[in-house]
A and B are shown apart, each in its own frame.
Chain A
Amino acid sequence: MVMALTPAAGVQGSLLDSPVGVNLLRPPGAVEEELFPAKCIRCGRCVEVCPYRSIVPLDARYGVHAGTPAVFVAKIPCYLCMKCVEVCPTGTLRRIALKETRMGLAEIDKHVCVTWRDEGLCRTCYNVCPLKEEAIKLDELRPYIVEEACTGCGICVHGCPVAGERGRKAVNIHPIYSTRQGRG
């Protein structure tokens, strides 16, 4: 219930619009957003199998997307256990390996991050990253994202202790791979 109370970025738009936005992502292995609402049968298996309760079904405010699965990474990120992709009966979540996961791409907002602002020393995103030294590295103690390795799991977003404007963090996941165009 708490999850559902957070409005999605696109919620004011048409009920046909994809709900996916910054820090609001699909589970691993998701097909393009253009296909997702048609392919997903809203069976809830991925939601049920997720041991961390990261995956939640979207509510009625999301129009045709109601009942489809999403991950609000700032609340509970994806811990990449890859159980959801195993149980999806329709292939809406394709059976991919952990490192192939591309839920989105993390981006550090250097104007918000205390380390990049040179105000403090924080490495929480680097510390919590499941692909430490692969997806997040340090440049003279300052964290940066390696695009080729980032899965978009959002553990860094969840861990980030800095609050930016509008509930954003100093690191956020942008769902750049969610559309056909994004996948090139």
Chain B
Amino acid sequence: MGLSRREFIKRTAALTAASCAGVSLTLPQAEEAQAFDADEWVRGSCRLCGVGCRVELGVKNGRPVALRGVPDSKTNFGYLCMKGMLFYKLMGHPDRLTKPLYRKSKKDKFKEISWDEALDIAAREFAKAVKTHGSDSVAYYGSGQALTEETYLFQKVMRGGLRTNNVEGNPRLCMASAVGGYLTSFGADEPIGSYADIEQATCFFLIGSNMAEAHPVLFRRVMRRKLDNKDAVKVINADPRISPTSRVADLHLQFEPGTDLALLNAMAYVIIEEGLYDEKFIGQYTTFRMGKKEEVSFEEYRSFLRDYTPERAAAICKGNITPDKIRTAARWFAKSNATMSMWTMGINQRKRGVWANNLIHNLHIITGQLMKPGADSFSLTGQPNACGGVREGGGLCHILPGHRLVKKDKLRHQVEDLWGIPRGRIPAKPGYHTMAMFTAVNQGKIKAIWINCTSPAQSLPNADLYRKGMAREDLFMVVTDIFPTKTTELANLVLPTAFHFEKTGVYGCTERRSQLTWKAVDPPGEAKPEVWIVREWALRLAKELDDPVIAKCVAPFVGKEEQYELPEAIWNEYTQKLTKGRDNDLRGATYRVLRQRPDGVQWPAPTEEWALKGGTYKKFVRGMDPLADEHAKDEKPYQFYGPAHPDKKLWIWLRPHKGPEEMPDAEFPFYLSTGRVIDQWHTASMTGRIPELMRANPYAYVEVNPRDAKRLGISPGDMILVESRRGRNLLPAKVYEGPVEGMVFVYWYDQHEDRLINRVTKDAFDPGSKEPEFKICACRIKRVSGPKVLKPYLASITT
């Protein structure tokens, strides 16, 4: 084209002016619905993060018009973030999937088909795989965003029906290390305390968490606590990146990525050497461990810690860490009346994520900063139902519903008996964990996979490698979702599902709290609730495989109306049968009770009477936790009855420092870390479709430390190539005093191929929890050009 941009601009200015004459212009109208416009307000919980804010959806003429917080809820007290206020806009969104779509080959275009055809195809393909390649050639990959009823029914059909433990879900990518930490340190999964501890704490230790952006409504409570008690409350933030969370901190420990284990051990060293530990608590309730069977003494623990003097640790941690800072942090932690730690992915997504969790728990155990009001070792979750649906509902390859391990014969047979299926039906061997599952996909060992409500094509580390497997022609892939994603691009069959408030079911948030969301509006087109999809699919599978046991798995639910009756029947089976006698006893949390409560029920809640009061605020405390009284072996006030520790004690672990799998070197000299920004959530398939949220963050950036930027000649907005041994991205730069020198940081929500950062991240994983080390890998960066105009991008689907 011979026209320069300048010429073009001059001409279009004139043309535009001419074409405007006589055109009637309207002002953009505020499209925000006013809160009082609704006919009816229907209660539920927020669809997005793991905080579990209670919301009400305003409905007018059958259409959603607004969301507002519920003031008498103990999670959010009526507050919402912008994501929570705006997700109602997704219900009638034009991009919604509304018809089943199918293609035989992944090279073809999708064709609209009927539900009958779709379910037949899904059943036929799964049956074919089972018949020719065995039960372990099929798999389910679910989500911490699916309702508990959905995860429970899917895993029941997979295990009891198809006889495979290949049941996994994206919580493996976010909180598996926290599960491992709770089980090994406390003997029971999930936090002991609650959000309510925030208002009683006098010291906060926030490590590996940007809760100001990832859990904004909960962070408000931390901020409030700090600001109302400026001198009495101390906040310690430990993070290689200065984030909005760091703003409230009295002390910011900015260490180099992957040196957290040394830091935590050094804090323990100071606590022991300065005599700040709680001798009585240690004596009554704890043991020291080297391994599961190897008990050691206090003296051995003490000598183990001698490798982690503040001086040695500061040399390992680098960044702004000094021996004095470590001492100050340890003293504040130990001496405060009540200390509460909170962490998320910075700790969990590590090669030694379980160990990092153990070392945080250690600090609480040795100082006795546990059990009392305001003191807790509290892991935050990122998804609304990772705890409720997946951790408790049996959504991972090694666990069955009610915190039961697959490999324990007794517990497995309990489940088989409760389901009324023959013993031996559920295999004794755990299935593939997430990374092994997608490796098996790559190797062609899995022939049919069902992906529900998540987008592994974008969210797996080293994504290109695993997308190759998902693209295989000999893999039949079903995806159930509400919008097109990077994963529907690789599917054979795409099934449209109902969204939150378009179906009924329970979410369980971070603090053991289960909350019911009631159907308020109809799903668009032919979209269906997952529970209906699974039931109908299972009935067809039973015919295809000529196996009545598969039919038996869904027999209690046949004939139930799918919007309210079906989820309630599934919830009843799960809670009344499967959680009975387990530590997450939810028998009291019936739909009837959940509908009456403003904010759901915290387990253990064995009776409706207890559940109506809200359930259990703190586990293991006699008088507060009904199970602590039931299991009490002595007169001590705390009873650690968790299923994983036969000695009913808390375990203090000797865990050495271990760096990340991949360290920067001459070729790839930078650390790369990834994370979130407040307005976008996960893979942005939802938040990216809310214009108000997309506008603020239309595409991902790479954050570069100003000193690194100066050295490399990078100005704000310049296009930067971020490259690792696995893949590359081309992103605009944000020069910002955030990441520590020598580290860059990228938001991971962007779906554009140039900015899909998981093409660059590393797929090393924790040998204990099998959770990948998303947070650390080595990369190099290079300025490619000045600023470029970038367009936001979302995956679409063509028929």
Contact = CB atoms under 8 A, between A and B. Distances in A.
Contacts of B715: 81
Contacts of B4: 48
Contacts of A120: 69, 79-82, 84-85
Contact of A138 (B32, B224, B247): B247
A161 B692 contact: yes
A79 B13 contact: no
Given A4-B17, A140-B223, A161-B696, A51 B82 contact: no
Contacts, number: 134
Contacts of B293: none
A7 B25 contact: yes
B23 A5 contact: yes
Given A5-B20, A60-B20, A79-B716, A127 B696 contact: yes
A161 B19 contact: no
B56 to A, nearest CB: 13
Contacts of B27: 7, 166-167
B253 to A, nearest CB: 20
Given A120-B82, A124-B82, A48 B9 contact: yes
A38 interface: no
Interface in A108-132: 114, 119-124, 126-128, 130
Given A1-B16, A7-B25, A159-B696, A124 B679 contact: yes
Contacts of B786: 51, 81
B25 A124 contact: no
A59 B80 contact: no
Contact of B679 (A53, A61, A161, A164): A161
Contacts of B29: 167
Nearest to A47: B9
Given A7-B25, A44-B10, A60-B17, A79 B717 contact: yes
A163 interface: yes
A21 interface: no
A60 B21 contact: yes
A98 to B, nearest CB: 9
B107 interface: no
B772 interface: no
A53 B789 contact: yes
Contacts of A80: 716
A165 interface: yes
A51 to B, nearest CB: 4
Contacts of A94: none
A179 B182 CA distance: 64
Given A7-B25, A120-B82, A59 B20 contact: yes
A63 to B, nearest CB: 11
Interface in B687-719: 692-693, 695-697, 715-717
A53 B692 CA distance: 21
Contacts of A159: 695-697
Interface residues of A, number: 46
Given A158-B695, A161-B692, A165-B30, A67 B227 contact: no
B161 interface: no
Contacts of A66: 13, 17
Interface string A58-83: 11110000110000000000011100
A161 B247 contact: no
A128 B695 CA distance: 11
A163 B788 CA distance: 28
A163 B31 contact: yes
A45 interface: yes
A121 B696 contact: no
Contacts of A60: 14, 17-18, 20-21
A93 B20 CA distance: 28
Interface residues of B, number: 56
Contacts of A166: 27, 30
B716 A161 contact: no
A35 interface: no
B12 interface: yes
B13 A59 contact: yes
Nearest to A118: B79
B787 interface: yes
Given A44-B6, A81-B717, A163 B30 contact: yes
Contact of B28 (A79, A128, A167): A167
A6 B27 CA distance: 7
A141 interface: yes
B292 interface: no
B244 interface: yes
B781 interface: no
Nearest to A132: B736
A128 B679 CA distance: 11
Interface string B655-685: 0000000000000000000000111000000
B453 interface: no
Interface in B578-627: none
Contacts of B717: 51-52, 79, 81
B16 A4 contact: yes
B17 A121 contact: no
A161 B224 CA distance: 24
Nearest to A62: B17
Contact of A127 (B68, B79, B677): B677
A121 B6 CA distance: 43
Which of B29, B85, B786 has the largest count of A CB atoms less than 10 A from its CB?
B85
B17 A45 contact: no
B636 interface: no
Given A161-B695, A164-B30, A5 B25 contact: yes
B13 A67 contact: yes
Contacts of B788: 51
B479 to A, nearest CB: 30
Contact of A161 (B5, B12, B17, B82): B82
B81 A122 contact: yes
Nearest to A55: B9
B220 interface: yes
B214 interface: no
B13 A121 contact: no
B86 interface: yes
A58 B13 CA distance: 7
A81 B787 contact: yes
A127 B244 contact: yes
B217 interface: yes
Contacts of B144: none
Nearest to A66: B17
Given A52-B787, A53-B789, A114 B85 contact: yes
B85 A57 contact: no
B688 to A, nearest CB: 13
B216 interface: yes
A121 B79 contact: yes
A124 B12 contact: no
Contacts of B30: 163-167
B677 A121 contact: no
Nearest to B692: A161
A125 B12 CA distance: 33
Contacts of B693: 161
A59 B16 contact: yes
Contacts of B9: 44, 47-48, 57
A162 B68 CA distance: 15
Interface in B204-254: 212-213, 216-217, 220, 223-224, 227, 244, 247
Interface of B: 4-6, 9-10, 12-14, 16-21, 23, 25, 27-32, 68-69, 79-82, 84-86, 212-213, 216-217, 220, 223-224, 227, 244, 247, 677-679, 692-693, 695-697, 715-717, 786-789
9 contacts: A6-B28, A45-B6, A51-B717, A51-B789, A52-B717, A60-B17, A120-B82, A121-B80, A159-B697
Q: Which 7 A-B pairs have the closest CB atoms?
A: A60-B17, A161-B692, A159-B696, A59-B17, A51-B787, A57-B13, A167-B28
